[in-house]
Amino acid sequence: MWSPPKGFECMLIKSFDGVELNVCSNFWGKHVDGRVAVLLHGSPGQVSNWRFQVDHLVERGYPVIAYDQRGYGKSGKPERVTLEEYLQDLSTVLNALGVEDRQAVLVGHSFGTMVALPYATTREVPALCLIGSVVRLRTDFTDWVIQHLPPAFWRKLFFTENFLTRRMYRKLFFSKETPEEIYEEFIQDNKEYLESLPPHAFKYLYQLLDYDASEYAPKVRADTTIAVGREDAVTPPEESRRLHELIPNSKLLVVEGAGHMILYEKPDIINREIKELLKRGE
Per-residue pLDDT reduced to its tens digit, 133-188: 999 998 888 899 999 999 998 998 899 998 889 999 999 999 999 999 999 999 99
The 3-state secondary structure of the chain, one letter per residue: CCCCCCCCEEEEEECCCCCEEEEEECCCCCCCCCCEEEEECCCCCCHHHHHHHHHHHHHCCCCEEEEECCCCCCCCCCCCCCHHHHHHHHHHHHHHCCCCHHHEEEEEECHHHHHHHHHHHHCCCCEEEEECCCCCCCCCHHHHHHHHCCHHHHHHHHCCCCHHHHHHHHHHHCCCCCCHHHHHHHHHHHHHHHHHCCHHHHHHHHHHCCCCHHHCHHHCCCEEEEEEECCCCCCCHHHHHHHHHHCCCCEEEEECCCCCCHHHHCHHHHHHHHHHHHHCCC
Q: What is the mean pLDDT of residues 252-258?
A: 98
Domain positions in the chain are 9-279
pLDDT at residue number 248:
93
Q: What is the pLDDT of residues 31-78, one digit of tens each?
A: 999 999 999 999 999 999 999 999 999 999 999 999 999 999 999 999
Determine the CATH number of domain 9-279: 3.40.50.1820
